[in-house]
Amino acid sequence: MGNIVIGIEGLVGTGKTSICKELLNHIPNSIVLHAGNIYRAITYQIMNEKIPFEQLYNIDLKDLFKKFDISIEIEDRETVVYAHGNKIKDKDLQSLENSMAVSKISGMANNENAYIIVRDYIDMYKKKYNVIFSGRDTMKIYPNLDYHIFIKADIDKRIEWKAAQYDDENSIEIIKENTLKRDELQEKSGYYKIYDNTIVVDVSDSESVEEKTQMILKHIDRNFKR
């Protein structure tokens, strides 16, 4: 069996990024492609360059990808994003403000060509690595996924985890409001779709990232290329 591609997506606040990082410790010869960070980088630059949102309706994200000179590199087995030659810090990509804007822009812009960009990166990396592919619409972006994992959890648990992520930067009420709003925007954008071959993993009762990761690993046949 050759290298595999695992698509990881799920509800807001389920700990997808942390789970992907932990999967690196269990899946040999693997990298994490944070496809969502490509969108986050584009969004960050839109806000950084003060481009009005009303100009984004049906805009081709591939054009913005080129305009901002976005590039993807692998560092410590994970993809990182550069714009105009400058690495964008993870804290800026993952900030609450950027996260809210991503959910809005993804529903306004034309994503099709952006999907092609991500697909090309996956095909390139798959030649050498097992690819853990994190993002939205993973099945639509890469229909030949070997595994499509959708992670869910109770809203109260997700708020608890988000509050820890933001280090009490925002009140529980604000985090809950924003999480539910992002859930709504994601669903309206056509994400959160469950397919016949989707493996849904509920991590509500997990107490750690390792426990969440083990819940996913039990669904993956690891008799692949090493």
Query: What is the count of structural domains for the chain?
Result: 1
Distances (CA, A) of 145 to 8, 13, 67, 78, 197: 10, 23, 30, 19, 10
- For residues 124 and 171, the model is more confident at 124
Q: 88 in a domain, yes or no? A: yes
Instruction: Tell me the pLDDT tens digit for each residue of 182-213.
Output: 888 888 877 889 999 999 999 999 989 999 99
Residue 113 has pLDDT above 90, yes or no: no
Largest separation between any pair of C-alpha atoms in the chain: 49
CATH number of the domain within which 135 lies: 3.40.50.300
Sign of the CA dihedral with 204 first, then 205, 209, and 215 last: negative
Q: Of 175, 177, 156, whose CA–CA distance to 166 is shortest? A: 175
C-alpha of 162 from chain center:
15
Domain span holding position 62: 5-217
Q: 224 in a domain, yes or no? A: no
Q: 92 in a domain, yes or no? A: yes
Residue 153 has pLDDT above 90, yes or no: yes
Q: 222 in a domain, yes or no? A: no
Q: 225 in a domain, yes or no? A: no
Per-residue pLDDT band at 4 (split at 50, 70, 90): very high
H helix runs in the chain, sequence order = 16-23, 35-48, 61-67, 90-93, 96-108, 112-126, 138-141, 155-165, 172-188, 209-217
Q: 226 in a domain, yes or no? A: no
Instruction: Tell me the pLDDT tens digit for each residue of 65-81.
Output: 999 999 999 999 999 99
